[in-house]
Structure formats: structure tokens, C-alpha cells
Chain A
């Protein structure tokens, strides 16, 4: 096993420079460049198939770009265990017989090391992480018995136990009711003091404009990146979503996600 990479303190947490990704012969990302500063919270917004998950996998070191460069704290991705990646719910086998505490413990697997069982200090870290997301009373429950919102909080606790300083959440809010969404944001607010850099893929343009420092609007190409009021403009959104965007009289925005995936 290779050792985790040391951070370059001067470098930003994420710097992408003209990233190209090819999936089965199709382009998934074209010349995407952006920089995320420490402690920023960025909404990654775009239609299905826009490359949001691809971008997260690049940052997590699971995929390699065909061209371009990506630096995490000044070094190539991979060999970084400071990136906490929570995939979409559908990607995780929630019927697996594993307890909440074990799921969080797995975030410390590198810290614990090969050939060792978690020690008491590891379990108290796990409890501390669960307490930060308000799930300390669920440690013995199995992951499949929790609600979607509670599961998201457990996976957030996993990134806390991992001591990740970059957290990637792929559509964490999909299927959650409003109170559960608010709880997730409260937790992210609280974790922010660390400083924690957070990227969230979401379909919800209203949340993106109210709860984030920056919005990264993606449709294979980077369409816009910056503060919400400069990026969430009808011009940019039309470019990203085409005809699947509805703008209401009160200014609320709705993307017709039911149809936009099928074009």
C-alpha cells in the first residue's frame, strides 16, 4: 500500500486544468477548468449525463482523465485519503448486513491499517463522528433500517471519521424531505469550521442559489462557475438544460428532470 500524499499548504484543495474524459468512446467532460478554495461549498449543477459523477470520480481518484491535469492540495489525485466521496444512494448495497458504527469505522480503514482490528480509540472517534451528525443513538442499527436522510448523515459521519477535508456528495438531497435536507445543511454548516471544502451534485437550482458559495454549471463543458447570482442566469441555464427549464413568475426555477434524461 502506498503512503498518503502530503499536502502542499499553499495550493488550493482542488485545481482542475482543461480536464477531458472519454467514456466508451463518448466525451464525458470537455476541457473543464476551475479552482475551489479551502472551505468553499460548491453546488455542481447540470442535467443527467452532464458529467457530475464523472467529475467526482476524478477528484476521488477512481477515474483518470484522458487529458488535462487535476491537482488535489497541489498533487495528483489518488494517494489522497483526504477526499470523502459519498456516491448516489443507488450505488450502495443498503441490504448489506453492516451496522451504522461499522459503516463509519470503514472511513478510518487506512488510519487503522492492514492486519489490525479497530481499537477503543477508533471506536470513540466513530462515536464522536456520529455525535456530530446527531446519529449517536443509532450506532447499533443496521444501515438498511434507516431513512434516506439518516443514511446520508451516517455517510457524512464516515467522511468525518475519515478526517476528509474535501467532501463530495453525489445527489445527497434527492428523495429527502425538506427537514432532512435542512439537517444536512446544518451539519455542513457546523463542519465548515474545519475548514471543509464541499462539492454537492444537485438538481435543485433553488437550493443551489441559496445554500452555496459557488455554483458550477456543467453540461460536459463548464458553462459557468462562480457566485450563484452570476451563474444561475436564465441564459446559462438554457444553455445547460435546453428546453427542459421552467421559470415561474415568482422567479423560482424548475428543471424537468423527468424528461431531460431521455433525449
Chain B
């Protein structure tokens, strides 16, 4: 066999690597699509917080022996709706409210987890992901959640576009702005749950923000931005997983590092809006 092909095929002879690859591909394709809304609406902190708020749900599911994603999904959707509701009350600034809930939930999750004996190992998996521990059932659940997320974005594409671009027009046109916003928040919770398996709670925000930010520098159309973000996410997932296999490093952080490197290259070399082309234009002017 051709050595390059052999090099590529070898990891896939392990069933756990094959499942990990499917999971990395799915997450890389789907999560950055929602990440485009996060980037365009300036919700990076919200996405990061949502991931951490989910920890107690994951831990309780773990202690009860349920699939982790179920616990995460329940807490994530509840938190999304609660924050959506909080943001409409004006007694406290939204980012402070998110900060309070975020830190409290994270602490609660760690305390619950520390009741377990194998605390250190499990915490590392939850915080930084465990792509190689994905079970066939996890994979099936991920596939279903991914389909739901992508279908919903397709069905509400123009409404989410208007809501993100021009909220005043959305209100004048009498769209159900609050319900649409809540729907978007719930979708974010869904993709956060999907990505926890791959990159862990601490790095979910990277899957949401990094590929979408790179794509933002490369295009001026939302649909193109979503496709590009998806491509960057999927490539980062696959390359990161191979890197983790051959270099023997943790898979989640490897994926995030690849995505970060892609962002760095785009930031420097993107035509038009990259750092270099802006410098060239500035010196030419």
C-alpha cells in the first residue's frame, strides 16, 4: 500500500478512532454554522457561559448513569430560556447576570463531581473532551441533534438573518421576535452539547467562534460565511484528530489548535480584510 494512504488509513482500523472521526466531522460541520450567529451578534461570552452552565447537568447524568448528552441538553435548554428571559428584565446587566449564573453552575458541577472517587480523570474528560470515548449511541444522538440544528437554520434562515441584521425591521414587520430569539438560544444550547463531547466544556467556545471568525474575514455573505465556517471546522476536526493520534496529544485541544492556526493564517493573509492586505492598502494610500 502507498505509504501516505497507509498513514491515513491506519488510525481508522481502530473502531474508536473511526467513531471519533465521524464525531469530529459532524461537530466541525455543524457547530460553526450556529457559530456564525454568535460571531455576528457578539455573543461569544454567552456561548462560553452556556457551555459551563451545562456542567452540573453533565455531572448529574454521569452520576445517574444516563447518557451525558441528555443531562447537558436539559440543563442547556433551561439555561438558554432563562437567560433569554433574564435579558428582557433590566434590573441587572445581561453580561453580569450571565457571569453570576455561569460561575455558580460551574462550581456546583465541580462540587457534585468531587463527590466521586475518580474525580480528576472524569473532570479532565468533561473539561477538555474525550473524542475517542464516543460510543455508537453518542454518535447516533449527535447525528440527530446535528440534523435538527441544520434543518432549523435552513427553515428560519431569513428570519434569523433579519433578527441578527436589523432587529428594528423585525419588530416593525411584527415577526415573533422573542420566540425566534429563544429558538436561536435553544439551538445554541444544542450545538454546545454536541461539541462538549469533542472539545470539552472549556473549549466549546472555540468551535463556536474560531471557524466563524475566520470565515467572516473571507466573505461578505452570511450563507457563504456558514459554508466556509463549516469547511474550516470539518478540516480542523479531521486534521486535529490525526495530529492527536500520531503525536499522542489530547484530541480536543489538538482540534482547537488547528482551528486557531487556520484563523491565524486567514487573519494575516485574507484578501481584502486580512492584516497584510490592509497594511499594503494603508501604505499605498
A109 in contact (CB, < 8 A): yes
Task: Determine if B175 and A1 form an interchain contact, defined as CB atoms under 8 angstroms apart.
Answer: yes
What residues of chain A lie closer than 8 Å to B175, measured between beta carbons? 1, 109-110
What residues of chain A lie closer than 8 Å to B225, measured between beta carbons? 97
B162 in contact (CB, < 8 A): yes
CA distance A81 to B156 in the complex (A): 20
CA distance A115 to B154 in the complex (A): 8
Residue in A closest to B222 when the chains form the complex, CB atoms? A97
Measured CB to CB, the closest approach of chain B to A180, in angstroms, equals 22
Identify which of B157, B158, B162, B222 gathers the most chain A CB atoms within 10 Å of its CB: B158
What residues of chain B lie closer than 8 Å to A2, measured between beta carbons? 174
CA distance A248 to B158 in the complex (A): 51
B165 in contact (CB, < 8 A): yes
What residues of chain B lie closer than 8 Å to A114, measured between beta carbons? 156, 159
Residue in A closest to B225 when the chains form the complex, CB atoms? A97
Q: Looking at the complex, which one of B155, B159, B174, B220 makes contact with A78 (CB distance below 8 Å)? A: B174
Task: Determine if A118 and B40 form an interchain contact, defined as CB atoms under 8 angstroms apart.
Answer: no
Measured CB to CB, the closest approach of chain B to A255, in angstroms, equals 26
CA distance A103 to B162 in the complex (A): 9
Task: Determine if B165 and A93 form an interchain contact, defined as CB atoms under 8 angstroms apart.
Answer: yes
CA distance A107 to B158 in the complex (A): 11
A15-23, A35-43, A83-91: which one contacts chain B? Answer: A83-91
CA distance A180 to B159 in the complex (A): 31
B261 in contact (CB, < 8 A): no
What residues of chain B lie closer than 8 Å to A110, measured between beta carbons? 173-175
CA distance A103 to B164 in the complex (A): 12
B172 in contact (CB, < 8 A): yes
A102 in contact (CB, < 8 A): yes
What residues of chain A lie closer than 8 Å to B141, measured between beta carbons? none
CA distance A167 to B41 in the complex (A): 27
Task: Determine if A79 and B157 form an interchain contact, defined as CB atoms under 8 angstroms apart.
Answer: no
CA distance A110 to B169 in the complex (A): 11
Measured CB to CB, the closest approach of chain B to A151, in angstroms, equals 12
CA distance A96 to B222 in the complex (A): 8
A124 in contact (CB, < 8 A): no
Task: Determine if B166 and A106 form an interchain contact, defined as CB atoms under 8 angstroms apart.
Answer: yes
Task: Determine if B159 and A144 form an interchain contact, defined as CB atoms under 8 angstroms apart.
Answer: no
| B34-74 residues at the A interface, CB under 8 angstroms | 40
What residues of chain A lie closer than 8 Å to B281, measured between beta carbons? none
Q: Looking at the complex, which one of B40, B158, B168 makes contact with A62 (CB distance below 8 Å)? A: B168
B263 in contact (CB, < 8 A): no
Measured CB to CB, the closest approach of chain B to A238, in angstroms, equals 34
Identify which of A60, A62, A109, A145 gathers the most chain B CB atoms within 10 Å of its CB: A109
What 0/1 readout, one digit per residue, does chain A (38-72) give for beta carbons within 8 Å of chain B? 00000000000000000000001110000000000
Question: Can you give 21 A-B contacts (C-beta < 8 A)?
Answer: A1-B174, A60-B168, A61-B171, A78-B174, A85-B172, A93-B165, A96-B40, A96-B164, A97-B40, A97-B216, A97-B219, A97-B221, A97-B222, A97-B225, A98-B220, A102-B222, A106-B161, A106-B165, A106-B166, A107-B169, A158-B169
Known: A1-B174, A110-B173. 9 other contacts (CB 8 A): A4-B174, A61-B174, A92-B165, A98-B161, A102-B161, A102-B222, A106-B165, A109-B162, A144-B220
The 4 closest A-B pairs by CB, nearest first: A142-B220, A60-B172, A97-B220, A96-B165
Contact surface of A with B, Cβ cutoff 8 Å: 1-2, 4, 60-62, 78-81, 83-85, 87, 91-93, 96-99, 102-103, 105-107, 109-110, 112, 114-115, 117-118, 142, 144-145, 158, 162
